[in-house]
Structure 1
């Protein structure tokens, strides 16, 4: 998480200094083992293949309206040990795209920092084991097919090239600054 917080701080400072409207969003689940969504499913008879069984938590660390460069403090909540749980990447990307489409812009790019495949134990135990992975791939394909938004996957110790047409990987803290800036530069140029 420290690497992720540092990456977000570097990226948003770089983009703000280039006068690029920037948001930094995060996502996780509210609790482990599903939460209210799973309890409701069980009360209703635990039908097979129910879909997502966790409560989502979407976080705005930096809104598009905020034009100030960061001092790093806004990303401190990322380091809370109780925050990271499980991840439903497809729905998080849909949420981020909805926010991005609200902003007036000639070009839109969504950079996704990822440390692994989507996962939520409650959802995966009640559905097919590839349920969240398949949903993420469907969401990405739908967004990339419209051409309205360019998606860029940046893996933090994880190869995102199996998901995103445009991707890179940061394998160590030493690579963080240069790799991330090069990826952002490529995304801005549209190459």
Structure 2
């Protein structure tokens, strides 16, 4: 099981079934806020839906294709960060993340993402980490930009969000590049 202590206030740990109620409550409390950028929010209607998501992430981990971790801030579940899938043949992965509205503005996501990039490039020995963000989701885009990722371009109409498509900005970080920017906070 994955557990990563970022600092005295921030811990990342793999989601487990006993986190389902807290994760559902956080999702439900932030539903309107999250819905603007996340296509799965409307399909999360119950704790059972959240349990199904956690079970899926446990299968992802068991098959060695990455995992999802809860972001725990001052011992409260604040959000989720995860590797979408690890491509071992090409030594790459992509990271996705979200944070509950009440936890914004504390530097939580920049620290969590930095830890996940560090883990991918040093512990998993991957060569590339990618982050894709909706073009107009400026808060999400600020994370890879602050961490020194390279803006590699736009993928047009990549994601369907309820009633419209959104473009994604693609950010990439290479292991050789990370060594020069890892001190960023």
TM-score (norm 1): 0.33
Question: Where is the helix percentage greater, Structure 1 or Structure 2?
Answer: 1
> Which structure would you say has the larger Rg?
1
Compare relative contact order (CA 8 Å, sep 6+) and give the higher one, 1 or 2. 1
